[in-house]
Amino acid sequence: MKATFIKTEGDYLQAELEIAGMRIYAMDEFGGERYSSGEEIEVELTAGLYYEEESWESMFSGNPDGKKELEHLTGWSYRVYGVVNRITPEVMVDVGFAEFEAPVDTRDQRVIGESIAFTISRMDAYGN
C-alpha cells in the first residue's frame, strides 16, 4: 500500500508513516533510513505481535457496531476493529484501508462477515 514516510528511529525501531490520512507507528522492517520525510513509499503492514490474553468471546463481541478502523493505543500498539472477510489460508479482517490477519484459527464459514476486535502489540511495516 502507498504510504508517506515521516521518520524512523532506525531499522527494527519505530517508524512513523501516514497511510490513508492516518499516522501509523510501526517497527521499521523496510529500511526507512533510505527515505526522506514526505517521500511516497510502498509498504505492507502486518501484526508483528498480538496481545495474547484475548479470548475468542472478547474478540467477537468487541466490535458490536461493525467498525472498520485502527485505534492507536501507544507506541506501535493498536486496537483493530474490522469484519472477517475470509478464512483461508488465514482468518483475514477488513479494517477499511487494509487487511490484517486475526489471531484466531478457524475454518468455520460462519465467522465470515462477523465483526471482530483484537489488539496488535506491535505493528510491523515491510517494504514491497
Contact 29, 125 (CB under 8 A): yes
Say which residues have a Cβ less than 8 Å from residue 13's Cβ, sequence separation at least 6: 27, 28
Contact 43, 125 (CB under 8 A): yes
Average pLDDT over every residue of 94-112: 96
At residue 61, what are phi and psi to the nearest 5 degrees?
Answer: -110, 0
Tens of pLDDT, residues 20-76: 999 999 999 999 999 999 999 999 999 999 998 999 999 999 999 999 999 999 999
* pTM listed for this prediction: 0.93
Residue identified by cell 490513508 is 20
